[in-house]
A and B are shown apart, each in its own frame.
Chain A
Amino acid sequence: MSAPDRLWYLYGAYSAFWLLLAGFMLHLGRRHRALDRAFRELETRIDKRP
């Protein structure tokens, strides 16, 4: 296998790393936004209390 061919594997491995990390960060971000929404709902419920 020639050196330029092997470079594709190198780029493939690093791309996979960054894609997985980005996926995990997006997952964390989504959870965080869901918590934000829940927190705001809770605030509204407290404000509505007599």
Chain B
Amino acid sequence: MTVRTRVAPIAEHVLPYAATLMMLIALWCVFIYAPDERMQGPVQRIFYFHVNCAWAAFLSFFVAAGASGLFLWRGRPAHDHLAQAGVQVGMLFCTMVLVTGPIWARPIWGTWWTWDPRLTMTVILWTIFAVYLLLRATAHDDPEIARYGAVLALVGVLDIPLIMVSVRLWRGMHPSVISAPEGKGGLEDPRMITTLLVTLVAFLLLIAWLLWRRYETLRLRDEIHTLEDRLTEVAA
């Protein structure tokens, strides 16, 4: 029994329901359970999804980089499929970060966008993986392009540690909400921390499900192509 056949029943019959249930609980926590932040008011509630979108994007890109490393080492298509799934799911969440961030920034900073170090590094991350997707979309069956893509994923993921430390390193405008100094906002109420953790669990389940769905689609597409090629060979 392979890992895939062991994971498949859980991924197909448990993950979607668990993710939906946790998302509903997370929404209840965000809109009802968590209190308003003193300085920002209700708009601070964007934080719970915005931050988790960022973490989800980072995790998906790390999965893509890990799978890309394995693909370069062993050359197995399954690793390439996981890498592609990771990049696509990561791009979804990275786009969400870049959309929800400015919506939060407008009432708090008074502007939709500023070239703050963290924001700029996030745009760079999005661009690197957008190039990856373009590369794969234009020549998805070319093994050489697949290897170039894998190298790009490994290089792209190096931007994530820079995003993490950019607030402290370059002192930008972006808040470091979790570790904000006492009395200067941040997660000062235990209910806020609980909400963030519940939302994190919901996002982890959602990522796992989306990754599985995308991985399976890519795997099936390849299997169908292989079968079509064999059938054509036999017919010839």
Contact = CB atoms under 8 A, between A and B. Distances in A.
Given A10-B46, A42-B231, A5 B96 contact: no
Contact of A6 (B50, B53, B107): B107
Contact of A9 (B103, B214, B220, B234): B103
A10 B95 CA distance: 17
B137 interface: no
Contact of A42 (B104, B221, B224): B224
Contacts of B100: 13, 16-17
Interface string B67-98: 00000000000000000000000001001100
B231 A13 contact: no
B49 interface: yes
Contact of B214 (A28, A38, A49): A28
A20 B95 contact: yes
A35 B92 CA distance: 22
B43 A21 contact: no
Contact of B43 (A9, A31, A38, A42): A9
Contact of B45 (A1, A10, A21): A10
Interface in B86-143: 92, 95-96, 99-100, 103-104, 106-107
A35 B49 contact: no
B217 A9 contact: no
B220 A35 contact: yes
Interface in B29-73: 41-43, 45-46, 49-50, 53
22 contacts: A1-B107, A5-B107, A6-B42, A9-B43, A9-B103, A9-B106, A10-B43, A13-B100, A13-B104, A16-B99, A16-B103, A17-B100, A21-B96, A28-B213, A28-B214, A31-B217, A32-B217, A38-B228, A39-B224, A42-B224, A45-B231, A49-B235
Given A9-B104, A49-B234, 12 more contacts: A1-B107, A5-B107, A9-B106, A10-B42, A12-B103, A13-B104, A17-B49, A20-B96, A28-B210, A28-B213, A38-B221, A38-B224
Interface of A: 1, 3, 5-7, 9-10, 12-14, 16-17, 20-21, 24, 28, 31-32, 35, 38-39, 42, 45-46, 49
